Structure 1
Amino acid sequence: MRMGLGQLESGTDIAANLAAMDRFAAAAAAEGARLVAFPEYASYEKKVVDASFAAVAEPLDGPVCIALAGIAQRHGVALVAGVVEASGEPDRAYNTLAAFGPDGGLLAAYRKIHLFDAQGFSESRFIKPAPSAEPVVFDFGGLTFGLMTCYDLRFPELARGLSDAGAEVLLACSSWVPGEHKVRQWLSLTAARAIENGMYVAGVCQAPPISVGHSVLVDPMGVPHAELGTDSAVATVEVSADTVAAVRRQFPMFRQRRLHPHGGSLPGQL
């Protein structure tokens, strides 16, 4: 299956962000993509998360998600994008990935678990963490996709939980904060999550200056494909369930592991 990576340069103009996603989805669909993934905070983004995020937050049946569902329908693709979801608290929102099918129906919604309280940032001041740490996956085009957001990439147990839940392609939708060594860390972590779980990792990132760019698709052997630079752009690349299965046969880590993801040994293995 061919999928698209849409590297945006989102800002505070929601209409402009939606228009960019519409253009990129059209371009990816023209190249045969059946699913297009966009970054964290695709619909609304600033250099620092502040009170305005809660102010613009909407429910998943609000105007932003209706527009995203329409883009998916219009171009006949599945679409995944970061939105600011109303949480029920007036001062905090959810940082949510919403996935829509080609019919416009909601396939899945993932609320970010690990908030970016690092490098002097305090995302949790204005963003509410997911109430559940259960992995979120959805099936589309003969593949199972797992969802995670940005800082989640630094927590390998979440990626392992997604692979245990059946994920063959991990969508790591991100707005990776710039800084010393950050591009190297971004590329290293996407490759590590792919290798240790025998799955594709699609790291879809916001472009500079807010983020680092370098969106990339890493295959289950850790080989990068379709790496973008720092410009806002879209690229398409093939992903295959057969490739995942072949790599997992070659490296049967899930059958061989002796430690439970949450601690202790697996039954009958020690």
Structure 2
Amino acid sequence: MRVAAAQLRSTPDPGINAGLVAEWAARAADAGAQLVVFPEAMMANFTVKLAPLAQTLDGPFVTRAREVAAAHGVWVVAGMFEPADDGRVHNTVIATDGDRVHHYRKQHLYDSFGSQESKTVKAGTDLVTFEALGTRIGLATCYDVRFAEQFINLRRAGAEVVCLPTSWAPGPQKVDQWQLLVRARAMDAQAFVLGADQAGDPNPDDNPKSRAPLGVGYSLVAGPLGEVVAKLGANDDLMVADLDLDRVPAARAAIPMD
């Protein structure tokens, strides 16, 4: 199974970002990827008020993602925002092949390091997995990666690949934490975890907005024993990796965890 992570910085404009999804999905398909994962907040980044931009699952952003997936014969996974029933939004990840649309609403909100995501985002409650490309795929988002139980439950639900769109806010030791957590959660899930982060700032010392809640980059794929299968640096880039799915049942047989 060939997968890709599109590591880029989304803008505040959903229309522009839908165009970026089309552009990067085409690049991934040209590289032979069957599934391409975009970052959290791909529809609109965290520098703007989210509620006025939130869209339903039949809105223009998801509609464009479906069209792109169908046109290129790939699964597209990307972060967006849906209206919630209390005036906040849901931080949602959609996965579509053009026909089907699965969605996961982020369960663990980033109320840490001085941020309070819960002020504007309503947490989801459901674990989400689905069958695609001859395997079972699970969905999680960014701060979820700090919660081992969610990934253990994804393993119990049969997920062999977990897509993890992320907008990992920069700060001291945040890159180290990100890489360690993705590898640890892959070991908990005994699965491949594909962490796709927003790109980092290439010139942080010259950019006063470099600490905006966007990303650090360093997207990576970790395997079922916690090994790094593929990784990127900080800047805009496309990561392509081949996953040997036979390694998932082999790891689970060698290291029983239930």
Say if 2:202 is the partner of 1:206.
no
- 2:108 corresponds to: 114
- Number of aligned residue pairs: 246
Secondary structure of 2:82's aligned partner: strand
Secondary structure of 1:226's aligned partner: strand
- 2:71 corresponds to: 74
Deviation at 1:135, TM superposition (A): 1.3
Give 1:206-225 correspondences, 5 Å limit.
206-209=198-201, 210-225=214-229
Deviation at 1:221, TM superposition (A): 1.7
- 1:9 corresponds to: 9
Q: Residue type of the partner of 2:4?
A: G
Give, in whole Å, the separation in 2 of the partners of 1:247 and 1:95: 32
RMSD (CA atoms) = 1.2
Deviation at 1:198, TM superposition (A): 1.5
- 2:141 corresponds to: 149
Give, in whole Å, the separation in 1 of the partners of 2:152 and 2:257: 11
Say if 2:39 is the partner of 1:43.
no
- 2:179 corresponds to: 187
Give, in whole Å, the separation in 1 of the partners of 2:229 and 2:18: 26
TM (norm. structure 2) is: 0.92
- 1:58 corresponds to: 55
Deviation at 1:196, TM superposition (A): 2.7
Q: Residue type of the partner of 2:92?
A: T
Give, in whole Å, the separation in 2 of the partners of 1:168 and 1:82: 21
- 1:229 corresponds to: 233
* Greater C-alpha Rg: 1
Where structure 1 has 5 or more consecutive residues not aligned to the other structure, the ranges are: 255-270
Where structure 2 has 5 or more consecutive residues not aligned to the other structure, the ranges are: 202-213
- Runs of 4+ in structure 1 over 3 Å off: none
TM (norm. structure 1) is: 0.88
Give, in whole Å, the separation in 1 of the partners of 2:177 and 2:167: 13
- 2:18 corresponds to: 18
Q: Deviations over 1:202-224 (max 9, x none)?
A: 11101124211100001112111
Given that residues 151 and 188 in structure 2 are in contact (C-alpha distance below 8 angstroms), is that contact kept between their aligned partners in structure 1? no
Q: Deviations over 1:127-170 (max 9, x none)?
A: 1111x2x3100111111111111111101001111111111111
Give, in whole Å, the separation in 2 of the partners of 1:197 and 1:46: 29
Deviation at 1:87, TM superposition (A): 1.5
Identity of aligned residues (%): 39
